[in-house]
Chains A and B, each alone.
Chain A
Amino acid sequence: GENVEQHPSTLSVQEGDSAVIKCTYSDSASNYFPWYKQELGKRPQLIIDIRSNVGEKKDQRIAVTLNKTAKHFSLHITETQPEDSAVYFCAASPGNQFYFGTGTSLTVIP
């Protein structure tokens, strides 16, 4: 089955700096790669996703890149703000099931 690895597990950045979270996957059949943000005590919510026919996608301060050959994808957050502090999960999906990374706890220091 699919195996998703996510790094780093914790990340602290100064407000205004950029944050990068990286994930790798093993199953070349995976074709959908969502990123979820989970604030403390709340449910995970989708912040951005990318499909395998696209190499990069951007939404305001958030961008995701995908390298199918190397089987890795990354989340980039620019101009970080304190409200970006949360746990971020990557996932890979070859069909109906999602395989999640173990999460990155991001802290943005004001």
Chain B
Amino acid sequence: DVKVTQSSRYLVKRTGEKVFLECVQDMDHENMFWYRQDPGLGLRLIYFSYDVKMKEKGDIPEGYSVSREKKERFSLILESASTNQTSMYLCASKYQGGSYEQYFGPGTRLTVT
């Protein structure tokens, strides 16, 4: 059974703090993704990685960076958190190529005050 885990379910940070969100998958998936989920806006892609140390910007990369040093781990970094980054963050992973299911983590509800 595929397992995608995220380091925190709930996180509260202050404006200007550096925030790390971590995601780990145990299925040897090549591709990993970070999405942001806001009401009425669906799932918006922040960054994705198709291999170790490889990354591509998604639709809303501003204010975020990512790191993938190991195949199973994909980190999302908010360099200087702002209140408009308060959101639900979902990590996902899948095998390389088309027609493969994307598996989601449980999500991290981040609040920036």
Contact = CB atoms under 8 A, between A and B. Distances in A.
Given A43-B107, A44-B90, A49 B101 contact: yes
> Top 10 A-B pairs ranked by shortest CB distance?
A102-B42, A43-B104, A100-B43, A32-B99, A100-B42, A44-B104, A103-B42, A46-B101, A95-B98, A43-B106
Interface of A: 6, 9, 31-32, 34, 36, 42-46, 49, 51, 89, 93-103
22 contacts: A6-B42, A31-B98, A34-B101, A36-B104, A43-B90, A43-B104, A43-B106, A44-B43, A45-B104, A89-B42, A89-B43, A93-B99, A95-B97, A95-B98, A96-B97, A96-B98, A97-B48, A99-B45, A100-B35, A100-B42, A102-B40, A103-B40
B113 interface: no
A59 B62 CA distance: 40
Q: Which of A9, A42, A100 has the most CB of B within 10 A?
A: A100
B110 to A, nearest CB: 15
A79 B51 CA distance: 43
A93 B45 CA distance: 13
A97 B90 contact: no
Contacts of B48: 96-97
Nearest to A102: B42
B31 interface: yes
A36 B35 CA distance: 14
A89 B90 CA distance: 14
Contacts of A6: 42
